[in-house]
Structure 1
Amino acid sequence: MAEERLGVVGIVIEDSLKAGDINHILSQYGEIIIGRMGVPRVSHKERGVSVISLIVHGTNDEIGAMTGRLGNVKGVQVKSALSSR
């Protein structure tokens, strides 16, 4: 069994039309997401971006698959930091 890790994933959405794609991907990985906070575009109009932060708990493969799919969406930037054990 693969070791699970705890971590944070930051998502910056520069294209608001991609929000549906992002939410669809996140719903598919809901079992590893234990917390979510978002700052919508309307709260940060001067920058024109939305930000989502996730607290995740899963294997490297699960978290990597989710962040990989998110990072493949044009106009979306993703960074993660995971516990070492």
Structure 2
Amino acid sequence: METRIAVIGIIVENSESVDKLNSVLHEYGEYIIGRMGIPYPKRKVNVISIAVDAPQDIISALSGKIGRIPNINAKTAYSNVICGTDE
């Protein structure tokens, strides 16, 4: 199965949405390479980046689920590198 590397940039505008976000991320944990969260109290938001290595449809599903959570905005950037399972 071919996989791609992508980064999902997330802005959490209300901390009440964090539990739902963490639940979705846990569901896709096997594909997550790393996660970095930066609180920004001055603007009352949190900025999170998630690096993933997964098939295209999995990345799209994860990004879509995150984007449907209230008070959360997400965008995905994809690498042009496509990897096979034997790499």
What TM-score do you get using the length of structure 1 for normalisation? 0.90
Identify the structure with the greater strand proportion: 2
1:73 is the counterpart of 2:72: no
Q: Deviations 1:23-57 (Å, cap 9, x if unpaired)?
A: 000000001101110013xxx21101011101110
> Which amino acid is 1:28 matched to?
E
1:76 & 1:49 partners in 2: Cα distance? 10
Runs of 4 or more, structure 1, over 3 Å off, are none
Aligned-residue sequence identity (percent) comes to 42
> Which amino acid is 2:33 matched to?
I
Q: Tell me the SS of whatever aligns to 1:70.
A: helix
1:46 & 1:62 partners in 2: Cα distance? 34
> Which amino acid is 2:27 matched to?
Q
Identify the structure with the greater helix proportion: 1
1:50 & 1:10 partners in 2: Cα distance? 11
Query: Which residue number corresponds to residue 53 of structure 1?
Result: 49
> Which amino acid is 2:48 matched to?
I
Aligned residues: 81
Query: Which residue number corresponds to residue 79 of structure 2?
Result: 83
Query: Which residue number corresponds to residue 36 of structure 1?
Result: 35
Q: Which runs of no fewer than 5 residues in structure 2 stay unpaired? A: 83-87
1:26 & 1:38 partners in 2: Cα distance? 13
Over aligned residue pairs, what C-alpha RMSD do you find? 0.9
Q: Tell me the SS of whatever aligns to 1:67.
A: helix
